[in-house]
Amino acid sequence: MVAALIKGLALGILLAISVGPVIFAILKQSIHNGHKAGYVFVAGVSSSDITLLLICNFFTSLFQTALKHQTLIAVSGSLFLIGVGIYTFFFKKVIVDEDNNLKAKVFRKRDWAAIFLSGYFMNMLNPGVFIFWFAWSAAILADSVTYANPLEFRMIVFGTCLVFVLLTDLLKVALAGRLRPKLTIKNLHFINQLSGVILIGFGIALCWGVLSFGAKLK
């Protein structure tokens, strides 16, 4: 279905170009820890999107219950971002060898799991992502009933969207990986501090926005 492909591509572009902490986290992981770490982080983000999409489409009541606790989720996500930002700004170190050259970090299985889960939960705890999938799942579900095979229509739309977003995230990792060999210790340290400030800023803005909105409703 051409219409389904076009709508899925449009959704993918909308999600891919949205500016958020995940974009900067992908770039930071790729530049600081290498392209493999970037790919693992992206896998976590993509798995999170799939989880949210499945919940929206097949467990609507569960998702609506989660939305009732949107403030709690937003505050938890904000604190998570702020915590990661503080760690990145103050404690994240650039690893060097005995000659003071950049040293490739050796990752253990639990390190890969931690990177995957950080991508998963950073995306999952973002209320903007929650609202995106909920709103568009409802819209696509209503639109799909006008087609001969509604399930196939939804699968094509969301499948196209997810694949497009995944490909753009992989492209970010590849581009960041090309920059990494040219970076100095000083530059990597600056990137850590910049990433920390961005994450803290997103966390504070998210928390402030949700709490302010909640106060206006009272």
pLDDT tens-place string over residues 16-50? 876 567 777 887 788 777 788 889 999 999 999 99
Q: Which domain holds residue 155?
A: 2-12+20-217
pLDDT of 141 above 90: no
Cβ-based neighbours of 107, under 8 Å, separated by 6 or more: 33, 36, 37, 115
By mean pLDDT, which of 91-105, 157-171, 197-211 is the weakest? 91-105
pLDDT digits (tens, 9 = 90+) for 73-129: 667 767 776 787 787 777 666 554 444 445 556 678 888 999 999 889 888 877 677
Q: 129 near 49, Cβ under 8 Å? A: yes
* CA 30 – CA 37 distance, rounded (Å): 6
* CA 182 – CA 176 distance, rounded (Å): 11
| CA distance to 44, 93, 155, per residue, from 85 (Å) | 19, 13, 36
Question: Residue 218's pLDDT is what?
Answer: 47
pTM: 0.70
> How many domains does the chain fold into?
1
